[in-house]
Chain A
Amino acid sequence: DIAMTQSPDSLAVSLGERATINCKSSQSVLHSSNSKNYLVWYQQKPGQPPKLLIYWASTRESGVPDRFSGSGSGTDFTLTISSLQAEDVAVYYCQQHYSSPFTFGPGTKVDIK
């Protein structure tokens, strides 16, 4: 099974500042057949279901503000919120869909400082 870790567990950032969340997989999730990283990022606000933000590690889902960006390859990935807004307060999860079981990271809680 591929284990997913995230760091930090939580962070508080001032409005307009950058937030960076890291995600690491225990094995590479880069598929050699298509050179795609099977890694997604979700945002979950309190009382709501998760929302897809980023897929293929770096492709922004339609309608997602461009302050959200994903990067990384292989086993190390990063979600960056370039200028934190109040509505970005949420828990962020990474998930690998390279191999079953399709494991989630433990989540990173983002708050306003």
Chain B
Amino acid sequence: EVQLVESGGGLVQPGGSLRLSCAASGFSFSSYAMSWVRQAPGKGLEWVSSISDNGGGTYYADSVKGRFTISRDNSKNTLYLQMNSLRAEDTAVFYCAKATTASCYAASQYWGQGTLVTVSS
């Protein structure tokens, strides 16, 4: 069974940093692209970033480019999102998602339950 468990969320002050993790199990992690998608309270889904199976390809939304960095450790079956220079508008539930293929140009087939990031002073 595919499982994706996000962690690392919490309350952070504007300008601060957080690193989110997503522990994956139940599938061959190194064979699939992964993504982060966020959802602000009461709002719709916003794609944040994607990374290919081997980490060679990464993509970012304009809203986070230069502030967020996606990475993965295939030896640990873990996806990361390093978030710097956080703003109030980054407050959201962050979901990690497994793609259907190794390419980032694929649907997100499985999703974790999400981790809440709150940026506030």
Contacts and interface: CB of A to CB of B under 8 A. Distances in A.
Interface string B91-121: 0000100001000111111111110000000
Contacts, number: 60
Interface string B27-57: 0000000010100000011110010000000
A38 B47 contact: no
A52 to B, nearest CB: 5
Given A49-B114, A52-B108, A55-B107, A102 B47 contact: yes
Interface range on chain B (Cβ under 8 Å from partner): 20 to 34
A100 B106 CA distance: 11
A107 B43 CA distance: 9
Nearest to B95: A49
Nearest to B58: A100
A70 B113 CA distance: 26
Interface residues of A, number: 24
A93 B109 contact: no
A42 to B, nearest CB: 8
B45 A93 contact: yes
A93 B108 CA distance: 12
A101 interface: yes
Interface in A26-60: 38, 40, 42, 44, 49-52, 55
29 contacts: A42-B45, A44-B45, A49-B112, A49-B113, A50-B108, A52-B107, A52-B108, A52-B109, A61-B109, A93-B44, A95-B45, A95-B47, A95-B107, A97-B104, A97-B106, A100-B50, A100-B59, A100-B104, A101-B47, A101-B59, A101-B60, A102-B50, A102-B59, A103-B47, A104-B45, A104-B47, A105-B44, A106-B44, A107-B45
Interface of A: 1, 38, 40, 42, 44, 49-52, 55, 61, 91, 93, 95, 97-98, 100-107
